[in-house]
Structure 1
Amino acid sequence: MKVVALVPIKLNSQRLPHKNILPLAGKPLCWHILDTLCQVDKIDKVYVYCSDEEVVKYIPAQAIFLKRDKELDGDLVKGFDIYRKFIAEVDADVYVLAHTTSPFIKKSSIENALEKVLQGENDSAFSAERIQTFAWYKGKPINYDINDVPRTQDMEPIWLETSAFFMFEKEIFTKHNRRIGFNPYIQEVSDIEAIDIDEKKDYEMALKLVEMEKKSE
């Protein structure tokens, strides 16, 4: 089966200017997820889908730059519009959609989830953080009975999608317009892997984490 990774990038991010090329651990932010994907043996090609050729200066040599239309950089453009364009241009059996904002995702997490899809056990997979505590939504508890409060270790966990990756068979997207299929595998990731850099405070946290790791070496 042909497996292709897609990493959409735009250089004119709003909430955190120049987010994708900000330095982290001596490399641009976008470099980290791309380098991890390039190390996964069962991913045949890793594409950077960006409208600006300047991005080539910031990505690993193994990654493939594919220029996309400038119109896809618009603030009102949805991610699914970008994915649809890419899939129309690059054929594959399985797509691995990953995001630069998750620089700490582990190679082993990607490999494990991808294996589930390739073996046919699941039609898709996504990274998620396990939350096992009392949660409410619209004024009501959603994972426990307020009249019979359980121990937290006995609670049914809630899974929060992270931005790290979504994997899906081609038909899941082209036929059903979904990035999560009907029998998804949920890849549990650690707190650190779940870090998503969208705002300044997220970036500052990532910098502190890198600094702490340096000191512990």
Structure 2
Amino acid sequence: MKKITAVIPIRKGSQRVINKNLRPFAGSDLLTIKINNLKKVKGIDDIVVNTDSEDAIEIAINLGVNFHRREDYYASSECTGSDFFEHLGNVTETEIFAYCPVTSPFVKIETMEEAIKDFYNDVNHDCLSTVSVVKEFLWLDGKAVNYDPENAPNSQNLPNIEALNFGFTLVRREDLIKNRNIIGKKPKFTKTTDIESIDIDTPLDFFVAEQIYIKTVLETKGLLD
């Protein structure tokens, strides 16, 4: 079996939700939750926190996982997505790269394990990534994108547009560096549930995700007083 390294990208300068990766979340924090979940995933050989945050490095050390201290440019707004992905590939010694942002706290351990098995058994695709199905009436530049306004369908009959949610992505390191992207030329998508698809990007996202986490994770496990 090839080595799989789960990389958790953490930038201390998050802009829309200040310090969202490390601020208190349901009695813990998003980074700690992500590390503890990844430790339970069969098939993951190593966990690396890629960060410019000394606080994140301290959490990584305390939880017994590795870290890469990110250079300033790759933590700045000047760094493009392509530059950043290439950087992740260049500094991560592995064969298969797993992209695991903390902003997706609901991706199930079972979902990740099934994705790993699927990726190993598939020779026709160069990456596997989680997606959400979008059933919305979409417009761009004053034009409908996915339906005919003169023959408007019911919402359930709209096409199943798949949106990357980046909850869990697997890609071979060589392809990550070559393509400068975690999404390859022949991607395979696996659909996640509505809750698993939650991505924390705004203050409202953070608030809603915390309430859902308390209800669906902590209360069901009896971890609340």
The TM-score by the shorter chain falls in which range? 0.7 to 0.9
Work out whether residues 33 and 105 of structure 1, in 8 Å CA contact, stay in contact via their aligned partners in 2.
no
Corresponding residue for residue 86 of structure 1: 88
Match of 1:4, SS state, is strand
Q: What is aligned with 2:169?
A: 166
Measured after TM superposition, the shift of residue 158 of structure 1 is 0.7
Query: What CA RMSD, in Å, does the superposition of the two structures yield over aligned residues?
Result: 2.3
Structure 2 letter corresponding to 1:195: I
Structure-2 change in CA distance of 1:91 and 1:156 (3 Å) = same
Secondary structure of 2:21's aligned partner:
helix
Structure 1 residues 79, 62: closer, same or farther in 2, change over 3 A?
A: farther
Of residues 86, 96, 99 in structure 1, which corresponds to 2:98?
96
Letter in structure 1 aligned against 2:22? I
Closer, same or farther in 2 for the Cα pair 1:153/1:18, shift >3 Å? Answer: closer
Give the superposition deviation at 1:124: 0.4
User: What is the TM-score normalised by the length of structure 1?
Assistant: 0.86
- Cα separation, 2, equivalents of 1:14 and 1:139: 29
**Kept after mapping to 1: 8 A contact 2:98/2:168:** yes
1:137, 1:111 → 2: CA distance?
37
Q: Is contact 1:133–1:157 with CA below 8 Å preserved after alignment?
A: no
Is the CA contact (8 Å cut-off) linking 1:116 and 1:185 kept in structure 2?
Answer: no
Instruction: Give, in angstroms, the shift of residue 188 of structure 1.
Output: 0.8
> Are the equivalent residues in 2 in contact too, given 1:28–1:58 (CA < 8 A)?
no
1:75 is aligned, of 77, 80, 84, to: 77
Which amino acid in structure 1 is aligned with residue 100 of structure 2? Answer: A
TM-score w.r.t. the length of structure 2 is 0.84
The 8 Å contact of residues 113 and 185 in structure 1, kept in 2 or not, is answered as no
CA shift, 1:170, in A, is 2.1
The match for 1:27 is 28
String of CA shifts for 1:74-106, please: whole Å, max 9, x gaps: 122224323322322222221111211111111
% same residue: 26
CA distance in 2, matches of 1:3, 1:215: 32
Structure 2: gaps spanning 5 or more residues: none
Identify if the C-alpha distance between structure 1 residues 141 and 182 changes in structure 2 by more than 3 Å, giving closer, same or farther. Answer: same
2:90–2:177: 8 Å Cα contact kept in structure 1?
no
Report the Cα distance in structure 2 between the residues aligned to 1:212 and 1:54, rounded to whole angstroms.
28
Where does residue 199 of structure 1 map in the other structure? 202
- Residue type of the alignment partner of 1:8: P
Q: Given the alignment of the two structures, is residue 117 of structure 1 paired with residue 158 of structure 2, yes or no?
A: no
Structure 1 CA distance for aligned equivalents of residues 184 and 219 of structure 2 = 42
| Structure 1 pair 203–69 and aligned structure 2 pair: CA distance change class (3 A) | same
Q: Deviations over 1:80-138 (max 9, x none)?
A: 32332232222222111121111111112222222222223421011111123443333
Distance in 2, matches of 1:29 and 1:193, equals 14
Q: How many residues align?
A: 217
Query: For 1:46, what is the secondary structure of its paired residue?
Result: strand
- List runs of 5+ in structure 1 lacking aligned partners: none
User: Which amino acid is 1:109 matched to?
Assistant: T
Q: Which amino acid aligns with 1:88?
A: N
